Amino acid sequence: MSVLEKDPPKVVEPARATASGQPFWRRLLFVVAAYLLCLAVFAAFAATQGADPASIFTTMLQSSVLDWGTLQQTLVRSVPIVLAALACTIPARAGLVNVGGEGQIIMGSVAAVGVGLALGQAVGGPVAWLAIVAGAAVAGAVWCGICGFLRVRLNASESVTTLFFNFIAADVMLYVIYQVWREGDATSLPQSEPLTSDQLLPAVGGLQLTLAVPFMVLVVVGVWALLKYTSWGFRLTVAGGNPTAALRSGLPVRRILLGSMLAGGALAGIGGALNVMGAEGALRPGMTATFGYVAFLANFLGGSRPFPVLGAAVLFSAIANSGNGLQLSEGLNGSAVNVLLGLIVLTMLVVSGRTKEAFS
């Protein structure tokens, strides 16, 4: 037994080298070069369309963030994107892929208008806002929760079911616009009956910004704190990091996964409500404008971390907004910015593939 009196040698391992094994400045150089190349490709594309590659970026900046008025528009537009991106962030922590932000925004919007119309002229102001947001949260949570339930009970892939639920949601909205809450006669533009002006969110201090924008920032901070500091967030991270380990530790993995989907869906639903109360006022076909899909990319770009996700969502919102400027001053079609969006996502994939953990 004499060997037992000695302690086993303590093995000291160095921290594992970063994935690429390159010094930081080399990686930074690579990242910067990649994004510059991305912009150059977009400029070349714009040139083929008759725009001046020297001025498009100035125009884009002017029409998205540099001008106070357009900056406000960018921020307002980013509200549903940010909320729907967080709807991907929370399930992603638990290892789930929610591609259904679009459908959850739509169901939230539908519920928002439904609650608003039910309250009618009688109720306005904060009480109405809360009721509308709560109704939208429930609708989004249910919509996403169904997919979560199918996942934990039947092992149906949530990335597929959430995607298909988007199409169902779009048709549900068309149905209520045309058949249930149709405003005006058949000759007017299709749109649902609107919320009352008391139910719309007021602008903050004489700006175009509505209350939705500061609320959005609060939600981002809240989700960050939830994931970082609460036991709920901890459980989520364990279940996402290693489901087997979570199961063997006795964590209720199914409930955790379902909970993450409910929470995510609720956020996207709230995003839909804020979009209706702060910008649209009523339902109209195509109003969500693929916010949910852009949100999915924003969550990806932000690495499922709330603050970077916020930044990515605002960036995407700015790019989308800059399309107006390109159309007016450069004669480009407004949808040309989608090319830039695509290029950025492509660059991001290349960069993250090359540098892996470099920025995490």
Partner 1 sequence: MTTDAAPVPLLEVQGLTKRFGSLVANDDVTFTVRAGEVHGLLGENGAGKSTLVKSLYGIHQPDAGRVVVDGRDERIASPSHARDLGIGMVFQDMRLIPALTVWENIALQLRDTPRVLKPRDAQRAITDASAHYGLDVDPSALVRDLSIGEWQRAELLKVLLAGARVLILDEPTSVLTPQEADALFDVLRRLTADGVGVILIAHKIREVRQIADRVTVLRGGRTVLADTDPHELTDAELVRAMVGTSVKPVSRRPEPTDETADAPVVVSLRGASVLRPTGVLGLDGVDLDIRAGRILGVAGIAGSGQGELADLLVGVAPLRSGSMELPGLDARGTTTGDLRVAGVVDVVANPVHDYVVRGMTISDHVALWEATTAGRRRFDVRGAATTFARRDERAGLRAADPSRRLDQLSGGNIQRVLLTLALTQDARLVIASYPTRGLDVLTTERTHALLLEARDRGEAVVLVSEDLDELLALSDEVVVLHHGRVAGTVPAVDADRDRLGLLMTEGAA
Chain positions contacting partner 1, by CB under 8 A = 1, 3-4, 6-13, 15-16, 231, 234-235, 237-238, 241-242, 244-252
Q: Least separation, in Å, of the C-beta of 254 and partner 1? A: 11
Closest to partner 1 by CB, 8 vs 126, is: 8
Residue 202 DSSP code = P
What are the tokens at 126?
Answer: 């904060």
Closest to partner 1 by CB, 21 vs 250, is: 250
Q: Alpha carbon of 103 to those of 98, 109, 131: distances in Å?
A: 11, 10, 21
Closest to partner 1 by CB, 157 vs 242, is: 242
Closest to partner 1 by CB, 55 vs 242, is: 242
Q: Least separation, in Å, of the C-beta of 348 and partner 1? A: 20
Closest to partner 1 by CB, 10 vs 48, is: 10
Q: Least separation, in Å, of the C-beta of 75 and partner 1? A: 32
Distance, in Å, from the CA atom of 69 to the CA atom of 67, rounded to the nearest integer, reads 6
Q: Least separation, in Å, of the C-beta of 150 and partner 1? A: 20
Q: Alpha carbon of 166 to those of 32, 162, 288: distances in Å?
A: 36, 7, 11
Reduced 3-state DSSP string for 20-32: CCCCHHHHHHHHH
Q: Least separation, in Å, of the C-beta of 5 and partner 1? A: 10
253, 239 in Cβ contact below 8 A? Answer: yes
Vertex 73, ends 71 and 75: CA angle to 5°? Answer: 70
Vertex 39, ends 356 and 70: CA angle to 5°? Answer: 105
Closest to partner 1 by CB, 229 vs 307, is: 229
354, 339, 267, 226: CA torsion to nearest 10: 30
What are the tokens at 89?
Answer: 């962030």
Length of the chain: 360
What are the tokens at 240?
Answer: 């996402």
Closest to partner 1 by CB, 2 vs 179, is: 2
Q: Least separation, in Å, of the C-beta of 94 and partner 1? A: 12
Q: Least separation, in Å, of the C-beta of 303 and partner 1? A: 12
Burial of 177 (0-12, 13-18, 19+ CB in 10 A): buried
Closest to partner 1 by CB, 153 vs 248, is: 248
Distance, in Å, from the CA atom of 87 to the CA atom of 294, rounded to the nearest integer, reads 12
Q: Least separation, in Å, of the C-beta of 63 and partner 1? A: 40
Q: Alpha carbon of 216 to those of 73, 220, 261, 271, 275: distances in Å?
A: 14, 6, 19, 9, 11
Closest to partner 1 by CB, 15 vs 122, is: 15
Q: Which amino acid is residue 124, in one-letter code?
A: G
Q: Least separation, in Å, of the C-beta of 357 and partner 1? A: 10
